[in-house]
């Protein structure tokens, strides 16, 4: 798994960490951002049109078994879960004064997945829907939301990484938007089928925010070269 990836955690631990838990700072951000019945209208940003997104999420559950296209009946689609410790994104200073200096905070709303077997590989399509709220120190503009998907195999000895992918979802907040929904549908997340295929029952696709990888990526980005200073024109005699 690449740097900044998701360290393993047991499925038992993950299931006790449901998406109904809301951090106090997130609650403050929701209130400050106008996430109430009288607040600004929600806007969805991300992949495709709103109808295609709604169809995907309504037709592809992240829980339980799911039929896999192009596969024998005993092949199951790995479930999608939020990684423990990566369910909330906080943008802004941390510490004692974080409540009033918070710029933005992100959380997950729902997820979905579809699977297909192609040439001996499992190909997953994973949809992520989240919410970005504006804190007291935030405002309109573009916010880059760092996400990571990591498919792992849970074993008695721990977790074995299968495939991981990091990506940035740009989310734009308008001047009158206190909170927005963002969506991302990742297609073509592929890995070889295990033998026997019943081992897929131990595979899980974890989704989480990954600001550590985003920071490392920003540091590695090449800086623009400074333009050479032009020489003053020689004076005429």
Lowest mean pLDDT, pick from 33-37, 61-65, 145-149 = 33-37
pLDDT of the residue at 34: 36
Decide if 33 contacts 96 (C-beta within 8 A): no
How high is the pLDDT of residue 143? 94
In whole angstroms, give the CA distance from residue 135 to residue 157.
Answer: 41
Q: Is the pLDDT at 183 greater than 80, yes or no?
A: yes
Radius of gyration of the chain (CA): 21
For residues 9 and 43, give the distance between their C-alpha atoms in angstroms, rounded to a whole number: 34
In this predicted structure, the answer to whether residue 185 has a pLDDT above a threshold of 60 is yes
Predicted confidence (pLDDT) at residue 12 exceeds the cutoff of 60:
no
User: How does the average pLDDT of the chain come out, rounded?
Assistant: 76
Task: Return the pLDDT at 57.
Answer: 78
Of 207, 232, 219, the closest CA to residue 5 belongs to: 207
Which residues make Cβ contacts (< 8 Å) with residue 105, sequence separation at least 6? 25, 26, 29, 88, 89, 90, 91, 132, 133, 135
Q: Calculate mean pLDDT across residues 103-131.
A: 94
* Residue range 38-73, pLDDT digits in tens: 333 333 444 444 556 677 877 676 677 787 888 877
Q: What is the pLDDT of residues 86-107, one digit of tens each?
A: 999 999 865 556 678 889 999 9
Q: What is the pLDDT of residue 232?
A: 62
Closest CA to 107 of 26, 8, 210, 215: 26
Answer yes or no: pTM beyond 0.95: no
- Please state whether the peptide bond connecting residue 147 to the residue before it is cis, i.e. omega within 30 degrees of 0: no
CA distances from 136 to 3, 14, 28, 29, 65 (A): 32, 31, 9, 7, 42
Q: What is the pLDDT of residue 49?
A: 46
**pLDDT of the residue at 22:** 34
- Whether 4 has a pLDDT exceeding 70, the answer reads no
Q: What is the mean pLDDT of residues 102-121?
A: 93
């Amino acid at each position: 798994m690449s740097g900044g990836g998701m360290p393993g955690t047991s499925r038992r631990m993950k299931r006790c960490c449901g998406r109904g838990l809301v951090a106090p700072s997130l609650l403050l951000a929701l209130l400050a951002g106008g996430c109430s019945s009288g607040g600004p209208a929600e806007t969805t940003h991300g992949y495709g049109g709103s109808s295609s997104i709604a169809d995907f999420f309504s037709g592809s559950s992240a829980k339980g078994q799911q039929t896999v296209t192009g596969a024998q009946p005993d092949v199951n689609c790995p479930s999608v879960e939020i990684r423990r410790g990566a369910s909330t994104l906080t943008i802004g200073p941390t510490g004692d004064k974080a409540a009033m200096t918070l710029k933005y905070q992100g959380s997950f709303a729902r997820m979905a997945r579809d699977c297909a077997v192609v040439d001996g590989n499992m190909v997953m399509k994973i949809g992520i829907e989240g919410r970005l709220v504006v804190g007291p120190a935030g405002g309109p503009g573009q916010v880059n939301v760092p996400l990571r998907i990591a498919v792992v195999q849970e074993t008695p000895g721990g977790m074995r990484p299968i495939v991981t992918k990091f990506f940035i979802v740009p989310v734009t907040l308008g001047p009158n938007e206190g909170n927005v929904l963002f969506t991302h549908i990742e297609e073509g997340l592929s890995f070889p089928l295990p033998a026997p295929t019943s081992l897929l029952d131990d595979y899980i696709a974890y989704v989480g925010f990954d600001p550590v990888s985003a920071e490392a990526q920003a540091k590695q980005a090449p800086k623009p070269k400074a333009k050479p200073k032009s020489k003053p024109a020689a004076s005429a005699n």
